[in-house]
Structure 1
Amino acid sequence: MDRRIQKSRQAIIDAFMRLMSEKEFESITINQIAEEANVNRGTVYLHFKDKYDLRDQLMEAQINQLLYECMTEDNMVHLPSKTALLRTFEYLEQHASFYSLMLKSKGNTVFRNQVETMFRQRLSEHLDSINLDGELNRDITVQFLISAAVGVLEWWIIRSMPYPALVMVEQFWILLNQGVGSEKSK
């Protein structure tokens, strides 16, 4: 991509993120984004159909980058190892401003749904590769694990990461293994 085009696109994204930190998504206009980015309105439309497309492309790029940075090819089908979980929490720490902004805004359900969809796909692939305990309903298991994982990540990010990544991984790992892999108590 031409440097000028790339620079304009990045200016638009940066402007959008600044505006998101100041006001609700629904009240942001293309004119405000263009003005904040110091480009004309037409330039915004060269890169994005509308503000929804801008938001969606930004979210998709961040989630894809998270997957690329944190999931090795060895665990793309399997549940992540503790090392991959630690990389994930550390990545979220490094990109806290973006994730915090997306999760704290009133429109956070769109972002949360994208994260859940990504988790659902990975978890479904994993469950297809193993023999799930016959007593466990696949749909309920998937929903439980997704709700737990996304809920914990959201809680951690919204509360400004009150515990270090390593503590979160250790606690999450214990909970995951006790909830899914422990012996049944009768």
Structure 2
Amino acid sequence: MEVKTDRRIAKTREAIFQAFISLIGEKNFESITINEIADRANVNRGTIYFHYSDKYDLLDKCMEEYLSKMSTVSTATGQDGETVDLLESSLMPIIRYFQEHHAFYLSMLSNQGIPSFRKRMLEIVTASIATHVDMEDQNQGYSKELVTQFMASAFVGVIEWWILSEMSQPPEEISTQLWGLLKRNQVIR
């Protein structure tokens, strides 16, 4: 049986997350204090320590939640209960996800104190691409690991550029262009 989280606890955690994310957008992670997070979230220090052991734990949980959502947004459950990989039809759900959570990804990717975020994001994308890459035809003769790393780095690099450039191109264009590049390089069929 699934245990439900009390709404007050969920609201408090969300307030802490939002305060933390806004502070990361303003200053280097290392200079952020628990007091600043508490003030911004309108809670006391003890409340933060009740939910998180320190700001590093808060950072880890924040990254875990958003990156987990990122990886699940590309799948859905079909009518028969089977998992459907949305990457077989469109990148639009994941591009929309990045658009909806722009503030978080902008803060995490632009903050020099958090290099581990990009690394973890790249690991998730690499795992996904590894399951999709087709090693026949034009990829034949290349190392699957090399092709996977190349395409994952390119995908994360394009998303990072798009987010840091304040989404200078419409999501539909990014989705279409990335889809074409992934298809051309046999990552998707």
- TM bucket, shorter chain: 0.7 to 0.9
Alignment-derived partner of residue 40 in structure 2: 36
Alignment-derived partner of residue 162 in structure 2: 156
Shift of 1:86: 1.0
- Counterpart of 1:52 (choices 42, 56, 62) is 56
The SS at the match of 1:74 is strand
- Structure 1: give runs of 5+ residues left out of the alignment: 182-186
| Equivalent pair of 1:82/1:173 in contact (CA under 8 Å) | no
Which residue identity lines up with residue 81 of structure 1 in the other structure? E
After superposition, give the CA deviation of every residue in 1:133-163 in whole Å (9 maximum; x if it has no partner): 5401022111101111101110111001111
Pairwise mapping of residues 101-180 of structure 1 onto structure 2 (< 5 A)?
Answer: 101-127=107-133, 132=136, 133-180=139-186
2: CA distance between counterparts of 1:171 and 1:14? 32
2: CA distance between counterparts of 1:114 and 1:30? 24
1: CA distance between counterparts of 2:182 and 2:112? 30
1:74 correspondence with 2:84: yes
After superposition, give the CA deviation of every residue in 1:50-107 in whole Å (9 maximum; x if it has no partner): 111111111111121222233232227xxx2342x11111111111111111111113
- Counterpart of 1:87 (choices 72, 77, 93) is 93
C-alpha spacing 1:135/1:151, structure 2 compared with 1 (3 Å): same
| Equivalent pair of 1:20/1:101 in contact (CA under 8 Å) | yes
C-alpha spacing 1:18/1:47, structure 2 compared with 1 (3 Å): same
2: CA distance between counterparts of 1:174 and 1:124? 18
The SS at the match of 1:135 is coil
TM-score under structure 1 length normalisation: 0.84
- Structure 2: give runs of 5+ residues left out of the alignment: 77-82
